[in-house]
A and B are shown apart, each in its own frame.
Chain A
Amino acid sequence: MSSIFGLWHWYIAGPLIGLFVPALLICLNKMLGISSSFEHICMLVLPEGKRSIFRFNMEENGWKILFVAGIMAGAFIASHFLSSTAPHFLPQKYYSAQGYGKLFIGGLLVGFGTRYANGCTSGHTIFGLSLLQSSSLKATLSFFAGGLIYTFFAYHF
């Protein structure tokens, strides 16, 4: 057993992540999902005239903006107070003008793709698969296919 300051192994972290499915349903009656928070943030940033394109369901998805704010705070706590050494999550190459550009383009694909697919790894892969939804399985397989395609070309060409 390693301490909580080291890496949390899959058999601890995986089940904990899975428990968010019933916990959010039972405590808040909400379905786990994150990518629609992008739309909420867009609406807060954009002038009023442009907001109407989103048709955002505040009742269903309005809570997510608080959830993602919490994720940010939780990551801060985990990396500053629950880690023995400062963890690194991004490679050094992304700390450059070129890296920023690459992250922006990658982010563009994440934002566009998750909204087009109506969900991300949390909404489809964790929540949708927990409901045994074939639509979420197709989405999940597509996420992985996209990632494998990119990684293959990035390493071989």
Chain B
Amino acid sequence: MKKIGCILYGIAFGIVLTKSEVISWFRIQNMFLFKEAHMYLIIGSAVAVGALSIQVIKKFKVKTLKGEEIRYSGKPFNKGFIIGGLIFGLGWAITGACPGPIFAQIGAGEYPAIFTLAGALTGAFVYHSVKEKLPR
């Protein structure tokens, strides 16, 4: 049951990403060139709704459907957030895709994105092979 839920949420997420063209290389270019506000408004309104929801969950101590306590936490900062973040940003501008949209581009039939995914998997593997030597 939980597995079906994960897939259904993925399908819904994929539909929204695709129909709002967040997965479009052209939209990402226009964002980084400040040519249109589309991406900024999407990200901004998504964060606003997300942040408001978290406040509601906190304030009313909302439980999960199963009645469990909702568990969430932030991530403790280290230098990798900046260095890795910059590296990811370069890749984002080149491919026009952050991780979710890579999968969406493939699903939408933009098959060259398979190369993006192959690169991303290789990149994750390389990271884990050298992570002990990287600054934190």
Residues of A within 8 A of B (CB): 4, 7-29, 31, 34-35, 37-39, 41-42, 45-46, 53-54, 63-64, 66-80, 82-83, 86-91, 94-95, 99-136, 138-151, 154-155
Q: List 9 A-B contacts (CB under 8 A).
A: A16-B16, A22-B50, A73-B10, A102-B94, A111-B121, A117-B82, A130-B54, A142-B88, A150-B32
Of B10, B14, B93, B124, which one neighbours A42 at CB under 8 angstroms? Answer: B124
Of B18, B28, B85, B93, which one neighbours A138 at CB under 8 angstroms? Answer: B85
Given contacts A10-B38, A31-B72, contact A89 B100 (CB under 8 A): no
- Shortest distance from the beta carbon of B97 to any chain A beta carbon, whole Å: 7
Per-position 1/0 for B102-136, Cβ under 8 A of A: 11111111101101111111111111110100100
Q: Is the pair B49, A116 in contact by a Cβ cutoff of 8 Å? A: no
CB neighbours (8 Å) of B77 from chain A are 134-135, 138
CB neighbours (8 Å) of B31 from chain A are 147
- Shortest distance from the beta carbon of B82 to any chain A beta carbon, whole Å: 5
Of A27, A28, A68, A146, which one neighbours B92 at CB under 8 angstroms? Answer: A146
User: Using a Cβ–Cβ cut-off of 8 Å, how many residues does chain B contribute to the interface with A?
Assistant: 110
Q: Is the pair B89, A90 in contact by a Cβ cutoff of 8 Å? A: no
Overall SS of chain A's interface: helix
Q: Is the pair A18, B50 in contact by a Cβ cutoff of 8 Å? A: yes
Q: Which residue of A lies closest to B33 (CB)?
A: A151
Give Cα distance in the complex from A65 to B133, angstroms.
28
Q: Which residue of B lies closest to A132 (CB)?
A: B51
Of A108, A117, A122, which one neighbours B119 at CB under 8 angstroms? Answer: A108
CB neighbours (8 Å) of B50 from chain A are 18-22, 126-127, 129-130
Given contacts A87-B108, A90-B96, A110-B98, contact A82 B19 (CB under 8 A): yes
Give Cα distance in the complex from A22 to B96, angstroms.
27
Q: Is the pair B21, A87 in contact by a Cβ cutoff of 8 Å? A: yes
